[in-house]
Protein backbone atom coordinates (compact mmCIF):
# COMPACT_ATOMS: atom_id res chain seq x y z
CA UNK A 1 0.00 0.00 0.00
CA UNK A 2 2.83 2.41 0.79
CA UNK A 3 4.13 2.09 -2.77
CA UNK A 4 0.87 3.62 -4.03
CA UNK A 5 1.30 6.87 -2.06
CA UNK A 6 3.73 8.41 -4.57
CA UNK A 7 1.37 7.64 -7.46
CA UNK A 8 -1.57 9.16 -5.58
CA UNK A 9 0.37 12.28 -4.58
CA UNK A 10 1.70 12.74 -8.10
CA UNK A 11 -1.83 12.53 -9.49
CA UNK A 12 -3.09 15.11 -6.98
CA UNK A 13 -0.13 17.34 -7.74
CA UNK A 14 -0.80 17.18 -11.48
CA UNK A 15 -4.48 18.03 -10.97
CA UNK A 16 -3.52 21.14 -8.97
CA UNK A 17 -1.03 22.15 -11.65
CA UNK A 18 -3.59 21.69 -14.42
CA UNK A 19 -6.04 23.97 -12.62
CA UNK A 20 -3.31 26.51 -11.89
CA UNK A 21 -2.04 26.86 -15.44
CA UNK A 22 -5.08 26.09 -17.61
CA UNK A 23 -7.93 27.18 -15.36
CA UNK A 24 -7.27 30.86 -16.04
CA UNK A 25 -8.36 30.42 -19.66
CA UNK A 26 -12.01 30.31 -18.53
CA UNK A 27 -11.78 33.72 -16.83
CA UNK A 28 -10.79 36.02 -19.68
CA UNK A 29 -12.75 38.98 -18.30
CA UNK A 30 -10.98 38.87 -14.92
CA UNK A 31 -8.09 41.24 -14.26
CA UNK A 32 -4.70 39.74 -15.05
CA UNK A 33 -3.25 40.31 -11.58
CA UNK A 34 -6.13 38.35 -9.99
CA UNK A 35 -5.57 35.47 -12.40
CA UNK A 36 -1.84 35.47 -11.65
CA UNK A 37 -2.42 35.44 -7.87
CA UNK A 38 -4.97 32.65 -8.16
CA UNK A 39 -2.67 30.58 -10.38
CA UNK A 40 0.29 30.97 -8.06
CA UNK A 41 -1.90 30.26 -5.05
CA UNK A 42 -3.00 26.97 -6.58
CA UNK A 43 0.57 26.21 -7.65
CA UNK A 44 1.67 26.61 -4.02
CA UNK A 45 -0.45 23.60 -3.04
CA UNK A 46 1.01 21.67 -5.97
CA UNK A 47 4.47 22.47 -4.62
CA UNK A 48 3.48 21.20 -1.16
CA UNK A 49 2.37 17.88 -2.64
CA UNK A 50 5.60 17.64 -4.65
CA UNK A 51 7.75 18.13 -1.53
CA UNK A 52 5.78 15.48 0.33
CA UNK A 53 6.06 13.17 -2.67
CA UNK A 54 9.84 13.53 -2.86
CA UNK A 55 10.20 12.82 0.86
CA UNK A 56 8.00 9.74 0.63
CA UNK A 57 9.76 8.37 -2.42
CA UNK A 58 13.18 8.74 -0.83
CA UNK A 59 12.05 6.88 2.31
CA UNK A 60 9.76 4.24 0.75
CA UNK A 61 11.51 3.37 -2.47
CA UNK A 62 15.14 4.03 -1.51
CA UNK A 63 17.37 0.98 -1.34
CA UNK A 64 18.70 0.10 2.11
CA UNK A 65 22.10 1.49 3.04
**pTM for the full model?**
0.57
Q: How far apart are the first and last CA of the chain?
A: 22
As a whole number, mean pLDDT of residues 28-47 equals: 82
Q: Which residue has the higher pLDDT, 16 or 11?
A: 11
| CB burial of residue 10 (10 Å; 0-12, 13-18, 19+) | middle
What is the reported pLDDT for 64?
66
User: Alpha carbon of 39 to those of 30, 36, 51, 61: distances in Å?
Assistant: 13, 5, 18, 32
pLDDT in tens, 15-35: 877 877 777 677 778 888 888
Amino acid sequence: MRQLYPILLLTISNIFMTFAWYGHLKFKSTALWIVILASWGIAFFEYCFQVLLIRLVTTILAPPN
